[in-house]
């Protein structure tokens, strides 16, 4: 991956407002220990179409609360604050570094996911298998590497 395409950012609350859009996304590990992602319709602006679950942070919402809401809306899953692990935040060249994505990890140990209610689900046996897929969006590759999941799943 070209490191010029992705930038790690560590925004404080006062710095978050410098971005045009703010999103919160989640790497999900299912109860059966598979990596759960989604296939989005190809957007001409995006490099890939396999993404994490998540979306826009609403006015007055924290990234943590947003990712909990988005995961619930998109998968039926019920992540608890204590079970979400912050991986980091990233901005990408294809948005002219104007958007920020806060990325979390959640293991659905209790099997609360009921489906994929936004796009089409795609599961991988492990991170290595996922990384072989050339349809992954750049930020997903970044997130999987940053999460250090290679030895876990």
Q: Is residue 24 domain-resident?
A: yes
Mean pLDDT computed over 65-73? 98
End-to-end CA distance of the chain: 21
What's the pLDDT band for 71 if we cut at 50, 70, 90?
A: very high
pLDDT digits (tens, 9 = 90+) for 135-153: 998 899 999 988 776 555 5
84 CB-near residues (< 8 Å, 6+ apart): 26, 64, 67, 68, 104, 105, 106
Q: Is residue 1 domain-resident?
A: no
The sign of the torsion formed by the CA atoms of 60, 61, 62, 63 equals negative
Q: Is residue 14 domain-resident?
A: yes
Number of domains in the chain: 1
Q: Is the pLDDT of residue 7 over 70?
A: yes
CATH of residue 86's domain is 3.90.79.10
Are 139 and 6 in contact by the 8 Å Cβ rule? The answer is: yes
Domain span at residue 140?
6-147
% of the chain exceeding 90 in pLDDT: 65
Q: What is the pLDDT of residue 93?
A: 86
Q: Is residue 103 domain-resident?
A: yes
Are 55 and 80 in contact by the 8 Å Cβ rule? The answer is: no
Q: Is residue 152 domain-resident?
A: no
Q: What is the pLDDT of residue 112?
A: 98
pTM of the model: 0.88
């Amino acid at each position: 991956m070209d490191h010029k395409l992705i930038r790690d950012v560590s925004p404080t609350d006062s710095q978050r407002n410098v971005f045009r859009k703010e999103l919160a996304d989640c790497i999900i590990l299912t109860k059966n220990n598979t990596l759960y992602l989604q296939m989005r319709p190809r957007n001409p602006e995006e490099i890939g179409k396999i993404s994490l679950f998540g979306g826009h942070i609403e006015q007055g919402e924290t990234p943590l609360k947003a990712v909990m809401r988005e995961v619930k809306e998109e998968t039926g899953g019920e992540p608890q604050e204590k079970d979400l692990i912050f991986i980091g935040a990233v901005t990408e060249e294809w948005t002219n570094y104007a958007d920020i994505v806060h990325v979390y990890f959640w293991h659905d140990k209790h099997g609360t996911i009921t489906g994929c209610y936004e796009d089409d689900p795609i599961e991988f046996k492990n991170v290595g298998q996922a990384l072989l897929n050339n349809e992954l969006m750049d930020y997903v590759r970044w997130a999987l590497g940053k999460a250090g999941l290679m030895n876990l799943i």
